[in-house]
Structure 1
Amino acid sequence: MQRPLAGLTRKNVGRELLAGVTLVAIAIPLNIGYAQIAGLPPTAGLYALVVPTIVYALVVSSRQLVASPDAAAAALVASSIGGLAAAGSADYATMALAQAIICGVMFILMSVFKLGFLANFLSKPILIGFVGGLALDILVSQIAKMLGIRIDSGGEFVEKTIGLVTGLGTLNVWSLLISVGSIAILLIGRRLLAVVPWALVVMIVATILVVVTDADGAGVAVLGEVPAGPPQLTWPMLSWTQWLALVPSALALTMVTVAEGLLVIRSYAEKRHYPTSPNRDLLAFGVGNIAAGASGSFAMGSSTSRTAAMDQAGSRTQLPSFVLAGGTLLLLLFGTALLAEIPSPAIGAIVGVAVLPLLGIREFRELWRLDRFEFWIGVVCFLATLFIGAIPGILVAFVLALVNMAKRAANPAIDVLAADGEPSGSLLADAPAGSVTAPGVVVVRMAAPLFFANGDVFGTAVKSAVTSARDSQDVHHVVIDLEAVTDADVTGAEAFAALRDWLDTSQVSLGFSRLRADARPRLERLGIIRDGDAVYPTNRAAVAALTEK
């Protein structure tokens, strides 16, 4: 088992500690903002940086991934629990704890049963659309906060947008000025000197400005009193019906985190050349989320932005996460009074700038260039998440994933092979009329398993090849190249039986080549290969044997 601080040496410990200080400066303002997005008190965001962070860092195999609640998770928490309890109520906070614990159990089960592959159903276009929809929903709330307009942050996207537009008459000029200044510092500062924690600079400068000018007296909302003290171990007390009501949203949170988290872990491991264990990483997410639910926080996942920041800072271990936990604990014990005067417009600006890249504008443009169908999948998922809701959005995402997979599986590459084994024409594109492998012989290859989605397509393609070839010469033999047919199902076998009957009626013999040994028992059981069928080791052997007859 890999030690918790793998990669830490005497040479890099100083750099790792400095990266940890940077992580503290980045994570604290963001987590306060994410807690507000989730409809929870600031302490819920800060508590996530203590016990859950330590537990996660002790278990995870990744040396770099930073785990924390993020914008998408916070929005999912708000949209899912908002329909079950009033934001700010005791029941709401308790449900957030329970939701995190359910997520943790799901992660652990996925780790035990090695189910991480399920996250592959969330393809890149689906993730872009889903996260983009959540990001735009968050952005509306943060814009309202930046303008000093009060809206129901727990409402639906349309309600919040209407509230923002109709509330423009109540805009607070001081809030607007703080927001504009904060955004300018964040954007310009990042370009001039990226290593500086500009979010912390914004919080400090904005807070000093509020205290000096008494801007809160002019209507600028501030964070308010934050209770001091470390996180307390607790357990959410809910009825079974309430626990069950949280399962769908916990499943959505889990799947999104698995899809994004494992991808980020793998990409950095490949980039920095160290081993990882996906099942151990799932276990780390599991125990981290249970720790979050048991210590007053909410569901946590992977933080792509913070992981990237640590990589840029030269961090190659989990030491910054331990520094983050220690720094946050010190703040909770001795420095919460410093947080009371932080202006909400500044927090809105920090979160808004952090969320902006999640809209996926650049990614959508790239999808449009590469594949229009996948672009529209992303758009539909984006709109479903935005206008129907996060949980229906994830369901739509899975349906779209299945549609996309079925569409591609139903149109496999089916080729007539030339005598040298190379395709002489695609039967699903514009195959040259009369394509044959050798005089009187047609060798056909399908580059996919034979199942319900493509069985009829394959049969039609073979019939087309024979019919087309007979326009110029006699065809007496068809050979099916089975190298890529790794599996088959009952529906595919029935479609193949119909093709066999058609070939018999047309007085065309049927043979097979390059049959995989591991696939043969199943193909025989389904009747695709029958006693007496000719099976050739290679296509050349098949052509040689048939042209000699």
Structure 2
Amino acid sequence: MQPPLAGLTRKNLVTELLAGVTLLAIAIPLNIGYAQIAGLPATAGLYALIVPTVIYALVVSSRQLVASPDAAAAALVASSIGGLAAAGSAGYATMALAQAIICGVMFVLLAVFKLGFLANFLSKPILVGFVGGLALDILVSQIAKMLGVHIDSGGEFVEKIGGLITGLPTLNLWSLAISVVGVAILLLGRRLLPFVPWALVVLVLATVVVVVAALDQQGVDVLGEVPAGAPAVTWPMLDWMQWLALIPSAIALTLVTTAEGLLVSRSYGEKRHYKTRPNRDLFAFGLSNIAAGAQGSFAVGSSTSRTAAMDQAGSRTQLPSIVLAVGTLLLLLFGTALLADIPSPAIGAIVGVAILPLLGIKDFRRLWRMDRFEFAIGATCFLVTLFIGSIPGILVAFVLALINLAKRAASPAIDVLAADDKPGESLLDDAPAGTVTAPGVIVVRMAAPLFFANGDVFSQAVKAAVTSPGEGVVRHLVVDMEAVTDADVTAAEAFDSLKEWLADHHVSLAFSRLRPQSRERLQALGILADETIYPTNRAAVAALATVRE
């Protein structure tokens, strides 16, 4: 087991500490914005940066992944709890805590039972569509904030669009000016000096302007008073029906975080040459989320953007996360007065720019070029998430994943080698290009396990090969079993029908290259009976070529 803060040495201590300061400057404004997206007070976003961050940093195997609430998680919290309680109410906040705890328990169970592979069902198109739908919903709320237009942030997407359009006559010019300047600084600054914490710069400049010009009296919304003090230990008190109502959204949060978190963790581990342990990372997410729910925060996931920023800053350990936690605690203890006059349009600009990449425009264009079916999956998930809701979105995502899986499994590659094969199509072991089988013998190989989705497909392919006019009279069939690692009852029944058909057409059946670990399973299903099993295709063809009619 690796020690906490693995990779930290005297040589990189200063670099890691400076990266921590950068992370602090990035995380404070973003987490305030994400808390507002979730319909929670600013403290909920800041509390997530203290105890949950420390626990995660000390337990996780990844040396670089940064854990924090992110835009997608915040939007999912708002959309899922918004239908159960009024945003801003005590019951709403209590449900957000309970949701985080349920997520934590699910992460721990995934780690204990090593079920992280379930997140693999969320393929790239599904993640792009799901997160993109959430991001566009967030963006509408942030645009309203940037314009000084008040809309129901907990409403449906269509309602938000309608509220934004009808509220345009109430647009506040000062809010618009702050937003435009803020967006310009963020976009240009990122290109010119990418290592500068431009979000903090925008926040400080906008706050100074609001205070000096008293713009809050001109209709510019400000954050308001932020309670001082460290987070306190608490526990959400809900009845069991309310706990059950939160489970579907907690499942969605857990799966999305698992898919994204493990992928980012593995990619940086490979990039920087250190090992990661997926189940330990899931366990770290679990403890972090339980801590978040027990001390006034909401669901914690992985932050791809902050992880990338730390990598660019030269960080290779979790020390920056510890610095972030200490800095946030000091801010809550001694500096909350500095937060009261932060203008909401500046927060909207920061969050809006941060979530632009989540819209997935580049990813959708790439999917369109590469695979139209995958594009359709992503687009469907995007539209369902946007217009129906996040929970239906994640359900549709899983259905689409299963459809995609079944579609591919039902059309496996099936190779046929016969006497008139073209050069280069040989299935014979170690055979030179152009080698063919003996007359009357064909070799068939399916590059997939046999199961209900492809059992009949395989049978039809074999029948077509046997009866093909170009093959001559086929008397012997060899099935190459190298890729058949498993089978099910439905496929076994289809294979029984195929055997009867072969017998009726006076075609003998043999197998070759059977995997030893698959033999018992195939025998139990009756796929392997009295047929001869050859070690190689070449041996099978040679033996059958000597058989006389």
Normalised-by-shorter TM-score class: over 0.9
Partner of 2:316: 316
**Aligned mate of 1:534, from 515, 532, 535:** 532
The CA deviation string for residues 146-165 of structure 1, in whole angstroms up to 9 with x for no partner, is: 00000000001110011111
| CA distance, structure 2, for counterparts of residue 257 and residue 30 of structure 1 | 18
1:282 aligns with 2:307: no
- The one-letter amino acid paired with 2:425 is S
Corresponding position of 1:224: 224
Quick one: distance in 2 between partners of 1:506 and 1:115? 47
What is the CA–CA distance in structure 2 between the aligned matches of 1:79 and 1:423, rounded to whole Å? 57
Partners of 1:538 and 1:422 lie apart in 2 by: 20
- In 2, distance between residues paired with 1:211 and 1:86? 32
Matched ranges for 1:247-326 at <5 A: 247-326=247-326
Bigger mean CA deviation after superposition, 163-172 or 63-72: 163-172
Residue 61 of structure 2 is matched in structure 1 by 61
Show the counterpart of 1:178: 178
User: SS state of the match for residue 92, structure 1?
Assistant: helix
Alignment partner, residue 516 of structure 2: 517
**Alpha-carbon displacement from aligned partner over 1:263-300 (angstroms, at most 9, x marks no partner):** 00000000000111111100000000000000100000
Query: Residue by residue, what CA displacement relative to the aligned partner does 1:399-431 show, whole Å, maximum 9, x if unpaired?
Result: 0000000000000000013689997399xxxxx
Do 2:289 and 2:298's aligned partners in 1 also have CA atoms closer than 8 Å?
A: yes
Within 2, Cα distance between the matches of 1:81 and 1:176? 30
Do the aligned residues in 2 keep the contact of 1:49 with 1:328 (CA within 8 Å)? yes
Q: Which residue of 2 aligns with 1:481?
A: 480
Equivalent positions of 1:69-218 (< 5 A) are 69-218=69-218
Structure 1 segment 435-446 matched on structure 2, within 5 A: 437-446=437-446
The answer to whether the Cα contact below 8 Å between 2:495 and 2:527 also exists between their aligned partners in 1 is yes
Q: Partner amino acid for 1:317?
A: T
Please state if 1:547 is matched with 2:548. no
The one-letter code matched in structure 2 to 1:273 is H
Report if the CA contact (8 A) 2:406-2:453 is conserved. yes
Is the alpha carbon distance of 1:525 and 1:72 closer, same or farther for their aligned partners in structure 2, counting shifts above 3 Å?
Answer: same
Change in CA separation of 1:318 and 1:488 when aligned onto 2, cut-off 3 Å: same
Report the Cα distance in structure 2 between the residues aligned to 1:316 and 1:157, rounded to whole angstroms: 40
Cα deviation, 1:34-90, whole Å, max 9, x if unaligned, reads 000000000000000001000111110100000000000000000000010000000
The more displaced of 417-426 and 520-529 is: 417-426
Distance 1:407 1:472 in 2: 30
Aligned residue type for 1:544: A
Task: Give the TM-score taking structure 2 as reference length.
Answer: 0.97
Deviations along 1:470-504, whole A, 9 cap, x unmatched?
A: 45521101110000000000000011111111111
The answer to whether the 8 A contact 1:418-1:424 is kept is no
- SS in structure 1 opposite 2:87? coil
Q: Which runs of 5+ in 2 are unaligned?
A: 428-434
Kindly provide the amino acid, as one letter, of the partner of residue 316 in structure 2.
R
1:181-224 CA distance string (max 9 Å, x none)? 00000000111101100000000000000011111111010000
Q: Which amino acid aligns with 2:353?
A: V
Could you list the runs of 5+ residues in structure 1 that have no partner in the other structure?
427-434
**1:42 to 2:56 alignment:** no
Instruction: State the match for 1:432 in structure 2.
Output: none
Measured against aligned partners, the alpha-carbon deviations of 1:288-328 in whole angstroms (never above 9, x if no partner) come to: 00000001000000000000000000000000000000000
Letter matched to residue 376 of structure 2? W
* Aligned residues of 1:415 and 1:423 also touching (Cα < 8 A): no
Following the alignment from structure 1 to structure 2, what is the Cα–Cα distance between the partners of residues 466 and 10?
72
How much does 1:438 deviate?
2.7
Whole-Å Cα distance in 2 between the matches of residues 4 and 409 of structure 1? 43
8 A contact 1:416–1:423 mirrored in 2? no
Q: Which residue of 2 aligns with 1:402?
A: 402
Q: What pairs up with 1:483-502 in 2 under 5 angstroms? A: 483-502=482-501
Give the total of aligned pairs: 539
Structure 1's 174 and 190: CA in aligned 2 closer, same or farther, altered over 3 A?
A: same
Percent pairwise identity:
78
- Partners of 2:423 and 2:42 in 1: CA distance: 64
Partner of 1:379: 379
In the alignment, the residues of structure 1 paired with residue 349 and residue 448 of structure 2 have an alpha-carbon distance, to the nearest angstrom, of 50
SS in 1 for 2:443: strand
Partner of 1:348: 348
Whether the aligned pair in 2 keeps the contact of 1:436 and 1:442 (CA below 8 Å) is no
Matches of 2:477 and 2:417 in 1, distance apart? 11
Question: Counterpart of 1:424 in 2: which secondary structure?
Answer: coil
Deviation per residue, 1:481-532 (Å, 9 max, x gap): 00000000000001111111111111111111111111111111111111x2
Structure 2 residue identity aligned to 1:326: V
